[in-house]
Structure 1
Amino acid sequence: MEKIQILVVGRHPEILATVVRLVNNNPDWNATGCLSDEEAIAAFGTQDFRVVLLGGGVNEISEAALNSHFFSINPDIKIVQHFGGGSGLLSAEIYEALK
């Protein structure tokens, strides 16, 4: 079975690395982390992402621009705001988005 691709966008390198590691702890998921809007937009075109996680530090202007871009390419993409809370909450958010 092919892994579910998850794009993680955040502004804090250490937090982004932690979230990517936590997502990748699930053998069915593969996370790609991006620190900037430009990096996220470029990455989105390279893989078939099913979920986008927007982390802390992504401001409203960036969020609106990213949402608009992602939905224009894939209207079925699931976008989740993730502000922390541990690996249990993170997993629950992803599972909910995948339903």
Structure 2
Amino acid sequence: MSDLINDPLHLSDAPAMGSREDRRQVIERLVHAMMQMVTAFESHGDAQHLIPIVQLIAVIEEMAGRIADADDATFSAIVEETASLLRTLEQRRQEMAIFTVH
């Protein structure tokens, strides 16, 4: 997941990203990473603020084919914004971990 968060444009700009299937795989990896984050937050009982994220995941999954077919600039922007959301969620998860009793 760290490659998705730290270097999403590398994924979206790679020469092999020209094919629809490769782009679709990137979208699927991003959706999977977001679902992992949602699961991590749910386990901490912090599910209320996750509703918009779950809705966003559903939209991205539903539109995966259209996103994969998008022009390069649009595809890169969607990947970057999704990675930005993942970075924010990861930071929040790390902040919350400080208060978690093991």
With the length of structure 1 as denominator, give the TM-score of the two structures. 0.28
Higher CA-based Rg: 2
With the length of structure 2 as denominator, give the TM-score of the two structures. 0.28
Which structure would you say has the larger RCO, counting Cα contacts within 8 Å and 6 or more residues apart?
Answer: 2
Higher helix fraction (1 or 2): 2
Higher strand fraction (1 or 2): 1
